[in-house]
Amino acid sequence: MANLSKALVVNSINNVASLLSTQLNDIKQRLSDIPRLSTNEEKELKAAQTKVKYFDYLANLVNNSNKAQSALYYVVKNTKTDSDDLLKEIATNSYSLNKFGFVLKSIADGFYNYDLSDMSASNIMAILDFIKENKVKFTMRQYRDCMTAHKEKAEKKADTGFTQTNQAIKLCERLGIVTYISGKISLGYGEYKINHDSDLVKYLKSVLTKDKEAQSELDLAIE
């Protein structure tokens, strides 16, 4: 991995945005001569369009927010992965991509709210609550209960299963925000710890709790 810097991660997000746009244009070109698209072809086109929509939003956010840039820097540092490779990986799954965008937008804004226009992305909110509260450990059921409270406030039906919870926690695991401890995940009994010793979690917490001193210290540590 190249020497990590804020400039590098910004360059990476622009590179991947350009790559996804090129891939979408290639798909459009390939399908342009087909009079009637098959179901699979329509799905392929829609998936590529959704991916570009989410990623372009993410790239615009990072390019225009120093806090989002810092958060992305610490994400890459935390995962010990090449920044281009990590962003390509996140972009392979639109559910993960829009949740990731929700996290970075929350950091850019310094706050977050349940988004009725994108309820799937909003399912990442519980981990942000837990970080703000300095929670050390949590179970999948506690995560779902937290999201249920947000959904009830928005007058939306709560999830009965653990699909959304599991998707959100898997992204948190990949980013190094949480670590699995024990329990049967398929039954909703998985238990996790939040990695408060990581610079990423420290940065997220500093922004969300308005700890300017801690945030400034972490910002200054970035190359």
Q: Residues 98-144: pLDDT tens digits?
A: 999 999 999 999 999 988 888 888 899 999 999 999 999 999 999 99
Instruction: Give the pLDDT confidence score for residue 1 in this predicted structure.
Output: 55
- Complete DSSP assignment for 31-88: HTT-SS--HHHHHHHHHHHHHHHHHHHHHHHHHT-HHHHHHHHHHHHHHTS-HHHHHH
Per-block mean pLDDT, blocks of 10 residues, the chain (223 long)? 86 96 96 92 94 95 96 96 95 92 96 88 94 96 93 85 92 96 91 97 98 96 86
What global pTM score does this model have? 0.92
